[in-house]
Amino acid sequence: MKINIGVALLGAAAAIGCLTLFANGKRPINNMPGTEATPIVKTAYTTTTGPAAQPVDFEKAAIAAVPAVVHIKTLTKYKQIAGRQAPNQDQDPMSEMFRRFFGDGGGREFQQQSPDQRASGSGVIISQDGYIVTNNHVVDGATEITVTLNNRKNYTAKVIGTDRNTDLALIKIDGKGLPVMAVGNSDDVKLGQWVLAIGYPLNLDVTVTQGIVSAKSRNIGINTQASAPVEAFIQTDAAVNPGSSGGALVSTNGELIAINSAIASPTGTFAGYAYSIPSNLMKKVIGDIMKYGSVQRGFLGVSLAPEGLDDAKKKEFGINTDVDGIYVMDVDPKGAAGEAGIKKGDVIVKLNGAKVDEVAQLAEIIARQKPGDGVKITFSRNGSEQTVNAVLKNKLGSFDSTGPAAMESMGADFSDLSKDDAAELGVNGGVVVSNIHDGGVLSSQTNMRPGFIITKVGDQPVSSVDEFKDALSKQGNNFQIQGVYPDSKEIYYYGINDFKK
């Protein structure tokens, strides 16, 4: 949640009211004569003897945590964007704008210059010598990063590493003896516990809000730019607004339990729910960046049934509703789970001895491991439970079912480029696109013409239909298709967006 400085001014009028419940000092009348109202659950405000206990103390936690939360301001200098318009195509101003942004190429050259962009976010100091955790989307693409501490001192920061899959980033300033926030154990977080959100929302000075944990392992599908996104957010009703991204979600002990990352809102400002990245996942990701320079992520190699399926879909997939767990839709035979004996149709019920019943929960546990780590999987098959040990691998995996489905969604016919045609065009091979159908991805998102020859999908070269199918199965939501037309020597690029939605 970056807030663009100077784009919009957000203001609010404060209304102050007073409600006197029992102005006459009398006790409320009980509807049941001769009885006393007794709370079903006794709270910190209710005691049977002696004076009432004091409410939860937020003051000590705020005093301890606030100095370690910083204000991050970024500058992204203008970039000159160049590209081509596809030949024999009418130019529509709006579609041309989107094609320029996503890299869709063509025959007619154009250039566009975008203005400087300034934005604002938050961060948390995790070491006395200046390492700071924030969100990837706070610093992504920034050419200048300025960090302001709670004591008003300014520093220039550099990016050490980022992870788009978890939307985390590590930046560094040159400092000594800086205030550091203690990092807590997010696995110990409970529903209903009090938390504080600390950050710099709406370009204001440091701000502290309070709320409770309202959900765990929440997946809201917001990270559409990643190839293998991990969303297992802690949900809270503590007020969080644009500019709070990268700030701290803090327990009443003053410990960091999550990094604030997103809000659910129809207006772009806080509307009741905020989402934060658990500290245990953050520790793994940031620890890898500090040690290796990039995230060392292990993969299980399974395709899992999405949550929220209705009964008809469950019946279609053959999901056993009598077992609480996560249904395995497909297995990469060369992946960690496949080599351990997991099969399509199994239901994963435990991971490392802990019960799992949500995909986001399982994804977070796996994301905290690295390639070569062993995990213990307990699954149900034909009514009986079994436990196997799997060794995680360093690739996502490929599944028999995803390739054909991805090919079908493209909405065209594909064939291998002949060796003679490849030699004439000066390419190693490719996939010829023909009969582009209405309603498919290629017709709805690109101006591709029949006869186009695909040579690359994302960063993966393709020389056959089988390679094209494999490349599609490994792409994220957004990627580019690269290739040539037989009658042109130019390379063309077509942007594909929201591919897996």
Active site (catalytic) residues: 137, 167, 245
* Run of H or E including 289: helix 279-292
Residue 412 token pair: 């065209």
Report the C-alpha gap between 160 and 229 in whole angstroms: 20
SS3 186: helix
Report the C-alpha gap between 274 and 272 in whole angstroms: 7
Quick count: other Cβ atoms within 10 Å of Cβ 131?
21
Q: Residues 185, 179: contact at Cβ < 8 Å?
A: no
Q: Helices 465-473 and 402-410, interaxial angle, to 10°?
A: 100
What residues does 416 pair with on adjacent strands?
Answer: 431
Residue 442 token pair: 């290629």
Give the torsion through C-alpha atoms of 275, 277, 280, 281, to 10 deg: 140
Give the torsion through C-alpha atoms of 238, 239, 244, 250, to 10 deg: -20
Report the C-alpha gap between 392 and 352 in whole angstroms: 13
Give the torsion through C-alpha atoms of 58, 61, 65, 67, to 10 deg: 80
What residues does 454 pair with on adjacent strands?
Answer: 431, 483
What residues does 76 pair with on adjacent strands?
Answer: 117
Report the C-alpha gap between 82 and 119 in whole angstroms: 24
Give the torsion through C-alpha atoms of 260, 266, 267, 273, to 10 deg: -30
Query: Which residue, 173, 137, 372, is CA-closest to 277?
Result: 137
Q: Residues 263, 220: contact at Cβ < 8 Å?
A: no
Angstrom distances, CA of residue 23 to CA of 18, 27, 31, 36, 46: 12, 10, 20, 21, 21
Angstrom distances, CA of residue 487 to CA of 107, 149, 294, 419, 451: 12, 59, 42, 17, 10
Quick count: other Cβ atoms within 10 Å of Cβ 25?
5
Report the C-alpha gap between 257 and 247 in whole angstroms: 11
